[in-house]
Structure 1
């Protein structure tokens, strides 16, 4: 048990933090929603009703989709784009997909390599892009969830004002949808760009997101 916790500490730790933050968001969101309902002389709802509402769903989904978009783009961008001096980047001379030997696939795979890395053909080709594909799929699914929940929440407000509801396509093309979406996207892109550049010049001892403390600023890819 001790070894399991040690060996999986990063995923377990972030999983627990995510659950704690989601619970906090649920209570805070429920309180804020009922306060707004009180101001507008609307009907207050229970916590369970709030958790199953489109209001809560859209708030969660719009953040999830921006996170998965960030990693989807980063996975593919770092294949072709480099940043000299950043541990977040490949070495400047390694732009592109790299050779089979460098990637240890096909006849260059070892006995410990994943089976599909050794198999060759379509299986190796699919496995070679599986991380980006899954990140892209998770982004699309969470984006779809955001659009559906957002449409429902937006139409609830329109009906309360005696306005006609929007179809899904109308909502996806609306200012409300893109305002919610772009305010999350820009913050994710800013954060990723910041860590790429700031990690050139600053260090965090013992972190794989940082170069070793004594490495020169221009050294690329090395982690400490």
Structure 2
């Protein structure tokens, strides 16, 4: 068990932080919903019932959407674009790292494949993150549309269809407010990693590395 914890500590800690944040999101969102219901003289809902509330679900996937967009774009852009001096960039002066198909007998089987299978495996990380982004975006859209329909019904207004809601400014306001922060934070990380260090982190250059050194 000790070896398992040591070998998987980074994932375990990140998932624990994720779970704690999600629970905090749920409980604080429920308290906000209770206050809103009280102001409108409506019956309160339980914490478990709030888990199925479209307002809560849409905000969950609204945030996941932006994170997966950031990571998918970042993974793909760093394959083609460089930032001299950044630990987050490949070194443009180094030879191409990946040549596919690989002739290394110890390489994963798919890395030794030619044709479509080899191409898909060679881009599988970017593809997987893009799929997670699309899935999160769709779920955000669907539940945000349901929340908008719920609010429209409360005010005696006609609700937009889910398809029509895709063109509603509210939908894109929710998305863009998260997207801009993700791209800004990534750009800041790229630039700061040129000049600043974090000892022993693979996301940082060695502490003694020159500012012009590129790559971790």
Q: TM-score range by the shorter chain?
A: over 0.9
**Quick check: 137-146 or 37-46, which moved more?**
37-46
Instruction: State how far apart, in whole Å, the 1-side matches of 2:14 and 2:193 are.
Output: 22
Instruction: State how far apart, in whole Å, the 1-side matches of 2:46 and 2:69 are.
Output: 33
Encode CA deviations 1:146-195: one digit per residue, 9 max, x unaligned.
Answer: 00000001111111011100011221111111110000000100110000
1:62 touches 1:146 (CA, 8 Å); kept in 2? yes
Residue equivalent to 1:187: 181
Residue equivalent to 2:111: 117
1:104 touches 1:110 (CA, 8 Å); kept in 2? no
Instruction: State how far apart, in whole Å, the 2-side matches of 1:185 and 1:69 are.
Output: 8
Give me the TM-score of the superposition, normalised by structure 2. 0.96
Secondary structure (helix, strand or coil) at the match of 1:93 reads coil
Gaps of 5+ in 1: none
Q: Which runs of 4+ in 1 moved over 4 A?
A: none
Residue equivalent to 1:197: 191
Residue equivalent to 2:66: 66
Equivalent residue in structure 2 for 1:105, among 77, 100, 103: 100
How far off is 1:200 after superposition?
Answer: 0.6
Residue equivalent to 1:75: 75
Q: How many residue pairs were aligned?
A: 216
Equivalent residue in structure 1 for 2:127, among 128, 133, 146: 133
How far off is 1:92 after superposition?
Answer: 2.3
1:69 touches 1:139 (CA, 8 Å); kept in 2? yes
How far off is 1:83 after superposition?
Answer: 0.4
CA spacing shift, 1:188–1:129, aligned 2, 3 Å: same
How far off is 1:94 after superposition?
Answer: 5.4
Q: Superposed, which structure 2 residues align to 1:76-91 within 5 Å?
A: 76-91=76-91
Encode CA deviations 1:15-43: one digit per residue, 9 max, x unaligned.
Answer: 11101111111110100111111112223
